[in-house]
Amino acid sequence: MDQIIERSLGDVTGAGDQLMWIDGEAVAALAGGTIDIFNPSNGARIGTSPAGLAADIDRAVQAARRSFKSGVWSRMPGAARQKILWRAADMIEARAAEIATVEALNAGQLYPFAQAMVHGAVELLRYFAGWATKIHGLTSEISGPMGQFHAYTLRDPIGVAGMIVPWNVPFGLVMTKLGAALAAGCSCVVKPSEETPYSALMLVRILEEAGVPKGVVNVVTGYGHEAGAALAEHPDVDKIAFTGSTEIGKRIVRAAAGNLKKVTLELGGKSPVIMFDDADLAKAIPSTAMGIFLHSGQICIAGSRLYVQRKIFDQVMAGLAGAAASLKIGDAFSPATQIGPLISARQRERVSELVASGVAGGATLVAGGQVHGEQGFYFQPTVLAHPKADSRVIREEIFGPVITANVFDEFDEVLEAANDSTFGLASTVYTTDISKAHRAAKALQAGFVWINCHFVSDPSLPGGGFKQSGWGREMGAEGLDAYLQTKSVFTSLNG
């Protein structure tokens, strides 16, 4: 493992520092600023990346625009784009151990989780590569008072797409956006999180090695309020895809108004988990624990609000408390570790403060609730019972290993509570009654509904949020549509 880490860092960071990637070249920020990058497992500084500003975004956008106008990618035959993307997927798969190592080091993902995310990204890229040969319109034989016409639609790439990616699953989320955009024929500018830039910088090099022309994918590192804001505002960007908080999503909408660029937003979640008293608890309890404690709860679709039917409430609380207490906290690379660090000291402090506010407001601390260790950014898996419906731990996204639990009696009662949120990203139902399961699925206001499972997804099915959890969808045919625009063509057949 140490050799993999050393080799991976050599590929990615050289002597510990990294450069942006614009128009096929590694470049520093024009103003010369850098950002320190840390390992969440121990708090150690592992390198730097450039602190890109508006001028750096502008040169990346110009490079993307030149490549798009040239047609070097946008007008390349779909079959050729498909082959390049498939080759890139094979290359990523061959280097999966190195990429996963960088994700674990930079984002604090447990190494097995990071491996799974990289392999998932490979399959997602292969899925979208297949779409490159299936972008077509439709024909319509129309007639009316003006005569007969041959009419059809064309699907064109939307142009230059800007992508702003968060720190929790950086490689997987950048691939969710890039896979669809590249299949559609767009040129792209990626702004990874300032905290986790390294895997995106690996990816752009692999894509160009595979045959994606220079300038088609550009990566600018920097802070969100500087580089990210400049990308959202840029008048020559046609599309913004953002994953992150609802607050920042609203800012992006306002910034996009300048040229009415198209926007896809995958935002925050406060996902309800409903456990009926006929659930198979031997499966439901560990599944619920995994659904909130995986990656220390730093997953937007984590099941953070639990509603348990009264008859089984005490049994479920005991099971969750046992699961939380049994998880071994530690370094992302240790084979014994079951729960890793939060991304930063700042995030750990926010989680701690929210938990404290819940307890102060009357919630019962069933398990956890404390910072763990003196090195790294760890927080204990935490279970809070009976918080008030208007408390912050119920209303706000915590983005940590914290689950709240409340009791319910009736079906309609729990559906009302589950939907009582400004968010609507994901939801989970545990029951052995198939009719009840599907009635709940129909009533839940969420983009994902899982029945007797959690975190299941597939590139062929779209993901996105209801309400303030986002606009639009990623993955599936709808994910591709987000990077295409349609024109209607009418030809007179009237002699």
378: domain CATH number is: 3.40.309.10
Domain that holds residue 227: 2-267+469-488
Please tell me the distance from the alpha carbon of residue 48 to that of residue 68, in angstroms, as a whole number: 31
Answer whether residue 106 is part of any domain: yes
Q: At what angle do helices 96-107 and 2-13 cross, to 10 degrees?
A: 80
Q: Are residues 337 and 364 in the same domain?
A: yes
Which parts of 211-277 fold into alpha helices (H)?
229-233, 246-256
Q: What is the CATH number of the domain that holds 132?
A: 3.40.605.10
Tokens of 82: 């498909």
Q: Are residues 346 and 434 in the same domain?
A: yes
> What pLDDT, in 10s, does the model give residues 200-223?
999 999 999 999 999 999 999 999
Q: Are residues 293 and 336 in the same domain?
A: yes
> What pLDDT, in 10s, does the model give residues 299-354?
999 999 999 999 999 999 999 999 999 999 999 999 999 999 999 999 999 999 99
| Closest to 163 in 3D by CA, of 52, 56, 228, 240 | 240
Answer whether residue 463 is part of any domain: no
Q: Are residues 18 and 165 in the same domain?
A: yes
Q: Are residues 359 and 219 in the same domain?
A: no
Tokens of 252: 């992006």
Question: Which residues form the catalytic set?
Answer: 266, 300
Q: Are residues 233 and 347 in the same domain?
A: no
Q: Are residues 473 and 419 in the same domain?
A: no
Answer whether residue 302 is part of any domain: yes
Assess contact for 273 and 302: CB atoms under 8 A.
Answer: no
- Give every CB contact of residue 280 below 8 A, 6+ residues apart in sequence: 430, 432, 452
**Bridge pairing between strands 262-266 and 239-243:** parallel
Q: Are residues 224 and 366 in the same domain?
A: no
Q: Residue 151 is inside which H or E element, if any?
A: strand 147-157
Answer whether residue 223 is part of any domain: yes
Q: What is the pTM of this model?
A: 0.95
Neighbours of 181 (CB within 10 A): 29
pLDDT at 15 over 80: no
Answer whether residue 40 is part of any domain: yes
pLDDT at 3 over 80: no
Question: CA-CA distances (angstroms) from residue 36 to 106, 195, 267, 371, 456?
Answer: 11, 8, 26, 24, 35
Q: Are residues 252 and 296 in the same domain?
A: no
Residues shown for the chain: 495
**Bridge pairing between strands 426-430 and 271-275:** parallel
Answer whether residue 72 is part of any domain: yes
Mean pLDDT value across residues 373-399: 97
Answer whether residue 495 is part of any domain: no
pLDDT of residue 17: 84
Neighbours of 164 (CB within 10 A): 27
Mean pLDDT value across residues 10-15: 40
Q: Are residues 386 and 421 in the same domain?
A: yes
Task: Tell me how many domains the chain contains.
Answer: 2
Answer whether residue 453 is part of any domain: yes
Q: Are residues 361 and 250 in the same domain?
A: no
Q: Are residues 339 and 248 in the same domain?
A: no
